[in-house]
Structure 1
């Protein structure tokens, strides 16, 4: 933490975790971490805090620190500010990902998406699938469904079950499950995270390959978008467009554009010790 003299509250905070190989991560399991400040800090103050963190990690024989930051669309001005601070402190951009978000407004979801996605949405609606927030599904069941869908595509879930349970225990009110069902069968699901009052993150979406002809993910996104409208959330974060191995996936990027997503960047910084 960074405190100003005689101040009661911290001016900036930084959370990080060490793995068994003495590598440090901010964060270990959450979608992003890094420096968070009160907005009043200057570059010298944040750079000072980062250099103090580096010295502290060195005391614990840390080998490397990796910092996953929020998408630039969350706050472009602060994104540029923190980028300069990380660079000043000797961190380098290890990965720069293409990320997408949907600005939420009174405009209906169907008016935002491409014609092909509107046809897919209509097909799912005509099939009388049921969609919405779903408090009847346990997080364990949701994880099992996500895992099943990812394995069908040859990918592992990006967050191990134990790490997800840790997040749920620490931030239980920030998570919400949405489903699309064919009668009682779940055919698409997403675990979302309320990042703050402005942003909802579509954290772990999944759908059954056997229902691909209906593209239930489009109906799922329409449902989440309406939820954002109702809760006055102004941004639906669709995340980065990468496969299970972290490699850019152009087809996923095109899909996010087709459902109304706008592009931004998400940077991961690192430094070896």
Structure 2
């Protein structure tokens, strides 16, 4: 079975990944082009994309156009190069359905794996999982898996690990996460409990809004889902690795302990 980031990926999910990574029509950020190059791109409405395509191509603003391969290839070379330069490095060169399958797979796996630590769920001892289950009954089932698409995020992953049914399938927003956190845990300070199962790590911005969450599994391990994207795994890392992965300017870390 193919694998990415140390996680098995079945054929059905791999086919979906391929369709999300290399669709027949792809968005390009024409607003980033010079006026000269922008004038060469056919007019069109703002694209209406699936959550998966939006996350693949980072379409979180306006100024985009959908182009298929024939339309893209018909543009002057300078315009094509300018369009490619608007993309992040992991989306260059442009990958179309016509790209040979082996090369398409190589680029897809590079896209999924770049900048993300492999999951270490296979390193967690059976005894650690057994102890963890008393506090986090859903953790072992989730650890070392990919979601079925975009949407499921860090907050839902933590709640599902703690036993909230169906939370792993939701794009969980802050209000329900905060309500659950207030009801299910108590704040703690310092790192004394980081080796125990059930410490919810919450990163907040300057306004106090929760931006990310992970949960400790015990014996130095933590479960974390970096983002809501389809390619973001429910990964097991060391607690230190999980904390370092979420360290961004302007965020502060706080801890809450589940009973």
Q: Same fold per TM (> 0.5)?
A: no
Q: Point out which structure has higher relative CO (alpha carbons under 8 A, 6+ apart).
A: 1
Q: Scaled by the length of structure 1, what TM-score is found?
A: 0.27
Q: Scaled by the length of structure 2, what TM-score is found?
A: 0.28
In terms of fraction of residues, the more strand-rich structure is 1
